[in-house]
Amino acid sequence: METQDLPRGSAEMVLLSLLEGRPRHGYELAKLIESKSESALTFRVASIYPMLYRLERKGLVDGRWVEKANERRRRFYRLTPRGRRALADQRRTWREFFAALNRITGFHHA
Amino acid sequence: MPDWNAFVRQRLALRVRPEREAEIVQELAQQLSQASAELVNAGVPEVEALRRAEAQVGDWAALAREIEAAEAAPRHVEPPPPRMSLWAGSRHDLRYALRFLRKKPVFALVAAGTLAFGIGGNTAMFTIADAVALRGLPYPDADRLMTMGAHRQRQPEIEIYTSAPDFFDLRAHTQAFTALAGISPVWNMVLSGGAEAERLECLFVSANLFGMLGVSPALGRSFLAAEDDGTHGAQVALIGYAYWQRKFGGRTDVLNRPLALDGSSYTIVGVLPAGFRYAGEPLASAPTEIDVWLPLAANPLIATRRSLRFLKVVGRLKDGVSAEQGRDEIRRLGAALAREYPESNGEMAWEVRLLREEALGRYRTPVFLLLGAVGFVLLMASANVANLLLARCAERRQEMAIRVALGAPAFRIVRQLLAESLALAALGGAGGALLAQLLLKVFVAIGPAGLVRSQAIRLDARALLFTAAVVLMAATLSGLAPAWRSILPAEMGNALGGGRTLGAGAHRFRSILVMAQVALALVLLIGAGLLIRSFQRLLEVNPGFQAKNLVTISTQVPAGANSPEQRTAVYLAMRDRLLAIPGVRKVAAVSRLPMMGSDLTSSLFAEGKMVAGAPAVEAQYRRATPDYFATMGIPLRAGRWFDERDGRNNSVALVDEVTARRVWPGEDPIGKRVKLGSPPDAQPWTTIIGVAGSIRHFGLEIAPQPAVYTPYAASPLVAPILVIRTSAEADAMVPALAAAVRSAYPGIPAYNVFAMQTLVDRSTAQRRFLMLLLTAFAAGAMLLAAVGVYGSISHSVAQRTREIGLRMALGASRGAAMRMVLGEGLRLTLAGVAVGWLAAGALTRLMQSVLFGVRPLDPVAFAAAAVMLGCFAILACAAPAWRAARVDPLVALREP
């Protein structure tokens, strides 16, 4: 499945939830999405970066250049408090959505 | 390996701000480079890897559009948190301050070290003051505990004691106190049964003492009331925690073990908790914990007569009874005793005092004096740091001015500078806490025993809280002035104009700071000088006897020795045993010994001088063996000493010089007759056979008072105090001497065993301690003042290099430059000295009670302090003056 096929909000939610634990850089995010979804989702670089920039403009994530010893300078993204709240909201919406879906179809999501 | 940044930039055409574009390009370049590198590592050929990495992007134009769309979205601005105003960014300020201090480590160390000195001293003194005056004694409801005792009506300076019969009577009749407990003097007893006999410090106390103080044993039980009934206490003992650890290694099977003390066997029934001390503990030789506690009823003196006052009594007031009511009751009971037993109690006045006052009251003035002194030191340290910060500010004025010009609110600047002084003070506080710890260790080691014994003195939460407060104060004091100066509009304009030197206002302000420091240091130096002079005066005082190599032991003849002959026999047995010890030169006995805090007086009526209604001369009354005077080293002024002729058959006496001068001014007292005791009609005539030198009985500070001596043989003593003159160092012989006394007769006690010098030193110990501390603080203050002068003058020289160079170019000599700098330093110092003199003149009056033989306005102390401070100030100016003299006019004038 390509990201373009996912509902727009869900791609953002994927990124936000990956940043929940700790700050990460773009490449790491792409790799993580690939491995965690067992390659069911493939983010194109093309879509990750504009998405991060949009989240940043919205104040949901905060990007900073970080320099570590023996490593090149990288831009790390971390969740802002506002991003954390947005993630919680989206989670609740999705949970309600799945619950409704369940009731109607008897379908269990994993 | 391609240049990825160039690679991305070629393909991605973005219409965003150039800085932002650079960031995006770099980020994408990193993505591609890492993706391709990973593929190459996995074995994919480089060209293929490049292709696959680029394939991740797909359509570059589409990506550019998406990024532009994202970047065009309105930026969300976080609304400011509501409490922004004053504190916003304060963490940033603190970080900035720490960075600044890291960059200037020498400055930070000097400033923080200066503050540590002030803060450490304050924390240590606060801890002591807290223990002495604020915290109270470490017992529950300690302000309900009172001590009581009696002294002769006309001798309020004597320590109060109670005799055993009086104590029992008070205890039987009191309504105001829930309980009264008696405490013996520290008793030196010999522990036998082990490999080597050991001398232990013991106290005999009433069974209810521990309950009254709210103390329960750490192990075993306390004394039972039944064990303290009658006059033969049960043979039980409690041991002190330290002794338990030292002797028994803290083993719990110590209970029920026997303890052979002075030939009697006691059973250990309990161990007192660690650190337990009785605050009112009487005269003791060493600042240690009591080893063994025994029931009062087991004390050998407990069945003695009413006139032998040796007990300290403590009582707890009943609920609802005021201290005043308690005092009234004891005075009433005392008056009843005086009516019933006029012989022994007729002239006694009863005192009831707070235990806390009795134990610690005499330390209050010195401790608050010292607390004030360290307060001065802290002020000076803060002034020094303020001065250093001011100098720093001068260097950073342009930075500050530009920030203000760019719209930084003034309070932000002030806050940032305060953050710096706070960081310094916090650093100083940490150092100060360590220093305080050290100072307190020293204090506990050398401080007055009475103070160190009765209270645990250590850094605790209260002290650290106090330190925190002091840190804040120091930060404010040292930081506020520089911060305020730096935002003055005049300063700003000057700074923006490119000036890097301080304006005249700031210079004047720094001068005032230095002057204040000099003044404060002078006040401390004068205070220390007054104490040093007092102490010198005290050491010059001749006590009237030679304390060196003199040992004293209090003892008591056995109950069976009733006749004068028997008492004399016991005394002679003790004397012979003592004289048999190598190094013992002379042995004598007396009824009252100087420096032991107790006395007995007698009314003296001289023949032909008795005027009806006029008061008699109250003379200190002592009975002494013939060799007492030679043993003590008291000189004979006229007539002769007692000898074997004198005894019960002839009634003779010696008087001291003070009596002779007062009663027979201008006459020879030898052969004159007196009556001793009141009423005179009932007394026989006594002939004066000699005049002895006067002695200071109560301490070096109290002038000799009239004294009269009668011969031992006239009425041999029941409780003789032995004095022993040794040829060797007296301290080392003390245990052997006490053992010899005990061996003379079974069950004979030996207590209050002291080297006489210890007693004399004890009477000056508190003063010595106060003097040492204040001198140390004053020395530190002087150093701080010198540093202040040095800092100010050398800064001024650095700033005036051009001026000095110009003067030299115009013909001024090096000497003139030097004189100019020295003159500036001297002017500052003299102004400080003038202010300091005025302040000291007002403040030294508060010291009156701790001075001896010196007036508060002693000109020597005032002058010496000023001269000393002046010398230090000139020394502090020497280096800057030298630098000024070496200014090269050419170099100085070329400087920007």
Helices (H), chain A: 8-18, 26-36, 45-57, 81-105
Residue of B634, B860, B853 whose CA lies nearest to B764: B853
Q: Which residues of B837-861 are buried (b: 16+ CB within 10 A; e: fewer)?
A: bebbeebbeebeebbbebebebeeb
Residue B59 to chain A, least CA–CA distance (Å): 8
| Other beta carbons less than 10 A from residue B510's beta carbon | 26
Q: What pLDDT was estimated at residue B794?
A: 83
| Structure confidence at residue A110 (pLDDT) | 44
Q: How confident is the model at residue B473 (pLDDT cuts 50, 70, 90)?
A: confident
Are B76 and A26 inside 8 Å of each other by CB?
Answer: no
Task: Give the per-residue pLDDT at B382.
Answer: 86
pLDDT for B242 equals 86
Residue (of B702, B714, B618) closest to B663 by Cα position? B618
Burial label for A71, CB within 10 Å (0-12, 13-18, 19+), is exposed
Asked whether B774 and B528 are in contact (CB, 8 A), the reply is yes
Nearest by CB: B27 against A49, A57, A59: A49
How sure is the predictor about B287, in pLDDT bands with cuts at 50, 70 and 90? very low
* pLDDT at site B185: 80
pLDDT at B571: 92
Q: Is the pLDDT of residue B50 over 80?
A: yes
Do A50 and B63 count as a contact with CB atoms less than 8 A apart?
yes
For residue B36, what is the nearest residue in chain A, using CA coordinates?
A27
Interface test with A, best of B14, B16, B56, B68 (most A CBs within 10 A): B56
Residue in the block written with tokens 């720094």: B510
pLDDT at B364 over 90: no
In A, minimum Cα distance to B33 occurs at A27
**Number of Cβ within a 10 Å radius of residue B640:** 15
Min Cα–Cα distance to chain B from A7, Å: 17
Q: Is the pLDDT of residue B679 over 80?
A: no
> Quick one: pLDDT at residue A3?
45
* Nearest by CB: B70 against A53, A59, A75: A53
Task: Specify the higher pLDDT residue, A103 or B184.
Answer: B184
More confident residue, A78 or B301: A78
User: Distance (Å, rounded) from C-alpha B193 to C-alpha B190?
Assistant: 10
Average pLDDT over residues B645-659: 88
pLDDT confidence band for B231 (50 / 70 / 90): low
Chains A & B: contacts with CB separation below 8 Å: 66
Give the pLDDT confidence score for residue B415 in this predicted structure: 81
State residue B356's pLDDT score.
84
Residues of A in contact with B52 (CB under 8 A): none
Q: What is the mean pLDDT of residues B125-145?
A: 83
- What percent of chain B clears pLDDT 90, i.e. is strictly above it? 26
| B chain contacts of residue A46, beta-carbon cutoff 8 Å | 56-59, 62-63, 66
Low-confidence ranges of chain A (pLDDT < 70): 1-9, 37-46, 106-110
Q: Mean pLDDT in chain B?
A: 84
Q: B463 pLDDT exceeds 90?
A: no
Q: What is the pLDDT of residue B614?
A: 61
Composition of chain B by helix, strand, coil, percent to 5 = 55, 15, 30
What are the b/e assignments for B101-130, b being 16+ CB within 10 Å?
A: beeeeebbebbbbbbbbbbbbbbbbbbbbb
- Measured between CA atoms, the residue of chain B closest to residue A77 is B27
Q: What's the pLDDT tens digit per position in B96-125?
A: 888 888 888 888 888 888 889 888 988 888
Q: What is the pLDDT of residues B541-593, one digit of tens each?
A: 889 999 889 999 988 887 677 788 889 999 999 999 999 999 999 999 998 88
Is the pLDDT assigned to residue B501 strictly greater than 60? no
Task: Reply yes or no on whether the pLDDT at B75 is more than 90.
Answer: no
Task: Please give the model's pTM, rounded to 2 decimal places.
Answer: 0.63
- Measured in angstroms, the CA of B76 and the nearest CA of chain A are apart by 5
Please indicate if any CB of chain B lies within 8 Å of the CB of A66: no
Residues in chain B within 8 Å Cβ distance of A65: 23
Q: What is the pLDDT of residues B395-405, one digit of tens each?
A: 777 777 777 77
> Which chain B residue shows the shortest CA-CA distance from A62?
B76
Average pLDDT over residues B610-617: 67
Q: How many CB atoms lie within 10 A of CB B888?
A: 11
Q: Taking Cα atoms as reference points, which of B33, B36, B37 lies closest to residue B8?
A: B33
Expressed in angstroms, the distance from the first to the final Cα of chain A is 18
Give the pLDDT band of residue B611 (cuts 50, 70, 90).
low
How far apart CA B202 and CA B261 sit, in angstroms, is 10
Interchain contact, B58 vs A72, CB within 8 Å: no
* Distance between B454 CA and the closest CA of chain A, angstroms: 57
The reply to whether A59 touches chain B by the CB within 8 Å rule is yes
Q: What is the pLDDT, as a whole number, of residue B472?
A: 85
Angstrom distance (rounded) from CA B354 to CA B630 = 42
Closest residue on chain B to A30 (Cα): B31
Give the other-Cβ count within 10 Å of B684's Cβ: 9
Contact call for B77 and A59, based on CB within 8 A: yes
Give which of A2, A42, A53 to mutate to test B binding, by max B Cβ within 10 Å.
A53
Q: Is the pLDDT of residue B666 over 50?
A: yes
A73–chain B nearest CA distance, Å: 9
**If we measure between CA atoms, which residue out of B374, B382, B392, B373 comes closest to residue B513?**
B382
Q: How many CB atoms lie within 10 A of CB B384?
A: 26
Given pLDDT bands bounded at 50, 70 and 90, which one contains residue B445? confident
Question: For residue B544, what pLDDT is reported?
Answer: 92
Whether pLDDT at B896 is above 90 = no
Over residues B420-428, the mean pLDDT reads 87
B675-679, B706-710, B736-740, B777-781: which range is least confident on average?
A: B675-679
